[in-house]
Structure 1
Amino acid sequence: MRWVLLLVASALWWSLPVAARADDTASGEAGGRVAFIGVPGLLWDDIDPRDTPRLWELAGQSGLGSVSVKTVGTVTCPYDGWLTVSAGVRSAVGRRCGLPPEPIAQGQGAIVPEVRELLGTRDGTYAGTLGTAVHAAGECTAAVGRGAALALADKAGQVDLYASEPAGLGDWARCRVLAVDVAALVEPYLEDGRLPQDPEAISPERRRDLARQADSEVAAVLDRLPAGTEIVLAGIGDHGSVPHLRVAMWKRPGITDRAGGAGSPGGEGAAGGTGGSGGSSPGEGPSIGTNSTRRDDLVVLPDITPTILTAAGLAPPATVVGLPWRLGDPITPADLVRADTAGVSVRGTTGVFFTAFAVLQVGFYAVAYFLMSRRRRLGLVGTAAIVLACVPVSTYAVNLLPWDRSPYVVVTLIGGVLAGTALIAAVALLGPWRRDPLGPPAAVAAITAAVLAGDLLTGTTLQFNSLMGYTAVVGGRYYGLANIPFALLATAVLMVTAIAAELLVRAGHRRPAVAGVAGLGVAATLLAGWPGVGSDFGGVIAFVPGIAVTALLVAGRKVSVLKLAAFCVLGGVLVSVIAVLDHLRPPAAQTHLGRFVGQVLDGTFLPMIARKLGAMLNTLLSPNLMPIVLAGLAFLIFAVLRPGQVSAGVVPRAFAQAPMLRAGLVGALVSGVVGMLVNDSGTAVLSMAVALAVPLVLHAGVRSSESPAGEAERPRSEIFF
């Protein structure tokens, strides 16, 4: 009970609201004018001084960033992108993909009837939020193009001024909020109203022609905008079956025009915005970030809505989940191109990597069974187990290297993971701790925990764009502790603390052993759930019962189903406390934990819960993840129940010689099972807990079998609870 109280008290202390830092957000002057230019499909790779001189010039006068266009599905069609800007939350229209609907002219304005239809759908509930907020402030809206009309239509579908092309809009200065749809880049990709499955549907030469056409349409807009207009430009949709990061530019007062610098937009060789020096990329400019992503060079689609409103001096509605853009450290378009390449490469490699990892896991257990059942090459099995356990942490450690700068990105990435695996395995197997059977497993667990904890404390640069982490092009998470890294962190912490507890118990210090497990577990749990650091809702719920079970077993206590359920409830209470305290902070400082509390309070959380539940259920039969769970757990169970036939008795011997190792394994599996049920990654959580914990136990068992015999094995009935 004392440790339970400590856990809650620590959460309260570390999660106390803090004053929001003063961000450089879109704070345009009261009465300012803002123009949003949406160019679905626009990549930084499309922009160069020769083919797109006006976009090149605009980049030289703007903050630069990337926008993750993820909405609800894997690919964001233009309709979904414009609808998300309209709603201020991720939105989608389901089967009606393609271009937004054509508005119906009505006097000087137009009406978009589909808005009222979308209001009754699950993923279109907030359509019309942007336009309604503008009208509520007594201002008018002006739109050019069908997508712009959808973005600025209020909940009745009404837009005050509308034209299908720039030349048709008579008064560009009448309304403070203007939107323009430049669809030239994406229209040719649409087949029967839908994006094609073939990412190479358009040749590179045709793509350059489309970029030139889009640049011409953007130029027609820029030439008509009143002086002093703040410009927000973003590529708000995908152009094929492969998602990408898209262009984000923000021209606002206070940004220095970088014209005249070598290789910069509008500089020498690009005078008048009509030519091009053939330079490689625009010059360095301030980056565009947002608190939604906690990254200085990345924003998301829902952030565009509050950015437009704030630039016009209007307050975003409470239902808007995005946050206004802010300016950060200097960056170049070349950096943004490389970020897109890294994200797309990781996404494209992840499926193959997990398939290979699953095959490797299943193959390892098959070979281990064959060799161990015949009492042959046990040392080789133990070494292979350590190597296998080093693979996950290597997928993060490789991001310490600039693999994304290589001309062969995927090859360099995989080579780096293999090299990292070999290096970490060598440290574990050859260090002075190798003399103890628990030494190499402790080393691997400690390295894994240290890498992930260090990553959380330094902005999660290692999980970002990693094979077992997350990428912005997928758009599931942009910062904090993802589900697979959570499983690895929880397993590593529980295993290493259990091994440390074993040493303390052997020395007769059981109480300090229990305190060590609980104390380090509390620290890791707070790190996982701390807003802005781990920000992991389900991870806290799953971590608490794992820590409690491990601590109880180390203390020599029994674990009942009732106690286990109580610990799960405690985890839910703990993360709820953290989320509520996060919600009490200013909106700009909140993470998704605090915003979720807001959704619960206003009753808008059910669609999000439904999507996460569906995602969790979809992973239960994953061909890449479930085999890892089945192979690892089957080997472990039969190694315990049939030790003479499956594992030469090494696992029971390991538990007999190091009982605390059993406590760590059981705690890790408890966290894995609970995490599988409460996270949208489902089986991925349990599979990674198994992939790390079981090989470490197997190695300890092999090494224990090499030690002098004589220690009696415990009865099998005592191996678990």
Structure 2
Amino acid sequence: MLRRVTPILLTLLVVVLGVAALAARPTGEAPRRTADFVVLAGVAGLRWDDVDPQTTPTLWRMAQEGSIGSLSVRSARRPTCPVDGWLTLGAGNFAAWNGSRGTDACPAVGVTVEQPDGIGANLPDQGGVVRYNQQRQSWGAVPGALSESVRCSVAVGSGAAVAAARPFGRVDRYAPELPADPAPLLGSCVLSIVDLGAVSGEDPAARAEQARRADADLARVLAARPPRSLVLVAGVSDTGLPSRLHVAVADGPGWERGWLTSPTTGREGYLQLVDLAPTALAALGRPMPERLFLGRPAVTVGGRPADLSAALAAPADADRESAAQRRVTGWFFALLVGAQVLLALAVLPLLRRARRHAGPVGPTPVPRRVVATVELLLVAVALAVPAALLADVVPWWRGDHAGWWFATVTALLVAGGTAAVRFVPGHASTLGPLGAVAGLAVVVVAADVLTGARLQINGVVGYSALQGGRFAGLGTVGLGMFIAGSLLCAGWLAQRVRRQWRPMVVVAVGGLAAVVVGSPYLGADPIGAIALTAGVSVAAAISTGGWLTVSRLVWATMAGLALTIGYAVIDLRRPATERGSLGRFLAAVGDGTGGLTVHRSSSANFETLVNSPLTVLALLGALLVWFALLQPWGGLMRLFGIYPAMRAAMAGTAVAAVIGGVLSGSALDVAGAAGALAVPMAALAALRVLDHSADRTQPADGGPANGRPGGSPRIPDRGDLDAAPARSGGPAPDRPADGPADASVDAPADGSAGDAGGGDPARRTPGRDARASTEVATA
């Protein structure tokens, strides 16, 4: 009865932990009406390094009094050129202007604006633009959704006309440029959109002159602003490649001296272009078209330094880091893939020759120094991704040669981590390096998440604010590392306790990891938490040995479904602006727009599968495991038979990584990040377990131990095992925590007899023929 009830209790425990983590969300107040008028002023290409007291005194004073942030100008097309940025601003959703454009530079706005009556204007191409976004894009954007949400709007300049045009092309009030006295025009409607020009190129003098002209026009807008008005200044787009972060400033009642943020970013000081339209409507107290807007109203939070120069250093530094991150990420993962390939080629002959023969005739063993060197390289390559994450502690992006600085810092961290693993107590045991590497990875990722995920944002192995996909919590690579590290740690710890306690250890460690991943305060990744729950359930089910039977798979599936349903019910009961990704998807399914989400997810999976270097890592790891490590000569099956908890951990890692990647739209990226950590450690453990495949216990009287006359074999006690040197100077075999009395440690997962003696489970039982023992252990 206890054995039948235990899986049910463990499943309930995993579900309760997961729902508790996902259900708690930071409390936030709904945005309240703060203004009678809103003025949106856009300057395409304006960055924070263009702002200073001499060149842009008006914007400087406005930033000093108002709230500031870094603006991600993502649209439906990359890079976001001015016409795409203005269109996205007016749609409150990721939109793009139809038509072709060059790949090296962004063209001017260049739209046709007709003025049939001298009051408003008309965009004759607007109908085609609406159809293009509805039929050819997967975001469901409706250009003009912002202007449709107010009774009257004003546009000044061609870019503003693109943002203010209604879906049928009409602009209510239009002026091609600011009049001598803008006050009557800006006060004629509650919403005004002003095009202040563009700042383009990389020549400092040219950019300063363009920024000076935009600042002079901004001074006229501020002088003519209506009473009780909110003025938003934004660098609405890029003006060339590469993409950058841009200026966002809000000045008005209730927006004094803070950081701008929104629910779409969840990070102080960051805003998205799609958030500007909802912010304008929320400030005016107008209802929002929830089905059309992907953005959420911005809010201001405290904590900004009193000195504006010190405050502006943060967004300017974030812009430099995000620009450097794009240049460095490609070659880092290319080098990582190359290192993994070379090590895989080096490991294959070692696996072939690692099994030692008990008889006098056999292949010449590989020199111990060569094996030790390969083991250190395996540890180093497994620590490369955690070291790259930790490298962001040092501001490497501020130097002239950012890539070299990053490479130097990462190499030093890899060397330090490898040395720590080499000299940690227990390194000589079969699973010692695996447990140490997994523990280091978990500590690095968990410490970053617990301190606000500051190493993830704009990090080489994190996520980029320029992409606009994620701004807080765990990224794709971080999730893969954390899944692999936490489950391997759970398996390593479970292997050290008795059989009946192993599922509890796996659930305890995995459940805590699910809380870290899913909590909105920490990892903020409900999809990752659901995937990790499924992996933990699989690992707990087979941690005591045996195969993944149908009943065990059913319990694991039920745990994942129960967590998903529980979180979905809670998320759907929240207000629409506070829902998570799962709640928004289910709401979209209810109103008939869920197909767009499915289409976006499938498109993202395909694009990531084809273009991501992590796909290569995932496929390379799968090939090495399947065609080498899982072969009879590969050692992994022997490792799994002797250490069933490690087999459970690796199976759970594979399940969680694949589910998490597919459901989040990142294909095999999560699996690639997990494999970069788990596969080298699996190869190292397989080498060590093969190295001890022919180890023999000593007979009691010193006679032969092969079942021949002359003495009966004895089981060595713990002191004998600890003192026994490894063969040929190799690592000393470890022993199970169960001791000689627990034969379950040594029983292969397939139910064969296995090694029932004490000591290291990888060592043979006395009295067996060498070849027979080898065949049984590898079956």
Same fold (TM over 0.5): yes
Sort the Cα spacing of 1:676 and 1:468 in 2 relative to 1 into closer, same or farther, 3 A.
same
Distance change >3 Å, CA 51–CA 640, structure 1 → 2: closer
Q: Name the amino acid aligned to 2:192.
A: L
Q: Which residue of 1 aligns with 2:708?
A: none
Partner residue, 1:385: 378
CA–CA separation in structure 1 for the residues paired with 2:570 and 2:250: 33
Is structure 2 residue 589 aligned with structure 1 residue 600?
A: yes
Corresponding residue for 1:112?
A: 123
Distance in structure 1 (CA, Å) of the matches to 2:222 and 2:439: 56
Paired with 1:103 and 1:719, the residues of 2 have a C-alpha distance of 76
Distance 1:165 1:529, change over 3 A: same
Asked if the contact 1:389/1:691 (under 8 Å) is kept, the reply is yes
Q: The residue matched to 1:693 in structure 2 has which SS?
A: helix
Q: Match for residue 270 of structure 2? A: 298
2:649 corresponds to 1:639 = no
The residue number in structure 2 matching 1:521 is 510
Larger radius of gyration: 2
Aligned match of 1:184: 198
Change (3 A) 1:384 1:114: same
- Please identify, of 313-322 and 34-43, the stretch whose mean Cα deviation from structure 2 is larger: 313-322
Closer, same or farther: CA 206–717 of 1 in aligned 2, 3 Å: farther
Give the aligned residue type for 1:355: A
1:120-143 superposed Cα distances (whole Å, 9 cap, x missing partner): 3234632222111112xxxx2111
Q: Which residue of 2 aligns with 1:262?
A: none
Higher mean Cα deviation, 416-425 or 528-537?
528-537
- Equivalences for residues 48-127 of structure 1 within 5 A: 48-95=52-99, 98=107, 99=109, 101-107=111-117, 108-120=119-131, 121=134, 122=137, 123=139, 125-127=141-143
Looking at structure 1, the residues matched to 83 and 595 of structure 2 have their Cα atoms a distance apart, in angstroms, of 23
Secondary structure (helix, strand or coil) at the match of 1:181 reads: strand
**Secondary structure of 2:383's partner?**
helix
AA in 2 matched with 1:217: D
1:654 matched residue in structure 2: 639
**Contact persistence 2:25–2:520 (CA under 8 A):** no
By how many angstroms is 1:434 displaced?
1.6
DSSP-derived class of the 2:115 partner:
strand
Closer/same/farther in 2, CA of residues 300 and 718 from structure 1, 3 Å limit: farther
Q: Tell which deviates more after alignment, 414-423 or 62-71.
A: 414-423
Q: CA deviation at 1:312?
A: 2.2
Question: How far has the Cα of 1:455 moved from its partner?
Answer: 2.8
Judged with a 3 Å threshold, the aligned counterparts in structure 2 of structure 1 residues 591 and 40 are, in CA distance, closer, same or farther, namely farther
1:28 to 34, 39, 43: 34
One-letter code aligned to 2:16: A
Answer whether contact 2:26 2:520 (CA < 8 A) is retained.
no
Residues 623, 42 of structure 1: alpha-carbon distance in 2 compared, 3 angstrom cutoff: closer
Q: What is aligned with 1:432? A: 425
Q: Is the 8 A contact 1:657 1:704 kept in 2?
A: no
> Partner of 2:479 in structure 1?
486
Q: Structure 1: how far apart are the matches of 2:100 and 2:221?
A: 29
- Give per-residue Cα distances to partners, 1:6-29, cap 9 Å, x unaligned: 233333444446673347x56414
- 1:680 is aligned, of 659, 662, 665, to 665
Distance verdict in 2 for CA 1:26–1:90, change over 3 Å:
farther
Which structure 2 residue ranges, 5 or more long, are not aligned? 1-7, 102-106, 306-310, 354-364, 697-762, 765-771
Aligned 8 A contact 1:455 1:461 in 2: yes
Q: Which amino acid aligns with 2:266?
A: R
Counterpart of 1:465 in structure 2 is: 458
For 1:157, the equivalent position in structure 2 comes to 169
Instruction: Give 1:480-559 correspondences, 5 Å limit.
Output: 480-504=473-497, 509-559=498-548
**2:13 is equivalent to residue 6 of structure 1:** yes
Q: Which residue of 2 aligns with 1:327?
A: 300
Q: Secondary structure at the match of 1:105?
A: coil
Separation in structure 2 between the aligned mates of residue 677 and residue 19 of structure 1, nearest angstrom: 27
Q: Distance in 1 between matches of 2:424 and 2:644?
A: 24
CA contact (8 A) 1:130 1:153 kept: no
Q: Distance in 2 between matches of 1:33 and 1:676?
A: 44
Contact 2:74 2:468 in 1 (8 A): yes
Secondary structure at the aligned position of 2:193 is classed as: strand
Question: Residue 233 of structure 2: SS of its match in structure 1?
Answer: strand
Q: CA RMSD in A?
A: 2.9
Matched with 1:338 is: 317
- Which residue among 147, 157, 167 is the counterpart of 1:131? 147
Q: Is the 8 A contact 1:143 1:161 kept in 2?
A: yes
TM-score (norm 2): 0.79
Contact 1:483-1:539 at 8 Å conserved across structures:
no
**In the TM superposition, what is the alpha-carbon distance from 1:687 to its structure 2 partner?**
1.6
What's the counterpart of residue 273 of structure 1? Answer: none
Which residue of the other structure, out of 617, 628, 635, is the alignment partner of 2:617? 628
Question: C-alpha separation between the residues in 1 aligned to 2:632 and 2:671?
Answer: 24
Gapped regions of structure 1 (runs ≥ 5): 187-200, 257-284
TM-score with structure 1 setting the length: 0.85
3-state SS in 2 of match to 1:432: coil
8 Å Cα contact 1:341/1:404 also seen in 2: yes
> Which residue number corresponds to residue 280 of structure 2?
308
Whether the 8 Å CA contact 2:72–2:245 is kept in 1: the answer is yes
Q: Look up the equivalent residue of 2:204 and give its one-letter code.
A: P
CA contact (8 A) 2:25 2:521 kept: no
Q: Could you tell me how far 1:396 is from its partner in structure 2?
A: 1.9
Letter in 2 for 1:46: D
How far apart, in 2, do the equivalents of 1:66 and 1:717 lie? 62
Q: Determine helix, strand or coil for the equivalent of 2:319.
A: helix
Residues 621-666 of structure 1 show CA distances to partners (whole Å, capped at 9, x for unaligned) of 447334323433333233345454xxxx544443344232222222
SS in 2 for 1:444: helix
- Does the 8 Å contact 2:24/2:520 carry over to 1? no
Is residue 2:387 matched to residue 1:394? Answer: yes
Count of aligned pairs: 663
Moved more, 594-603 or 703-712: 703-712
SS in 2 for 1:244: coil
Q: Does 1:47 align with 2:59?
A: no
> After superposition, what is the alpha-carbon deviation per residue over 1:53-81, rounded to whole angstroms, capped at 9, x for unaligned?
33233323321111111122331112221
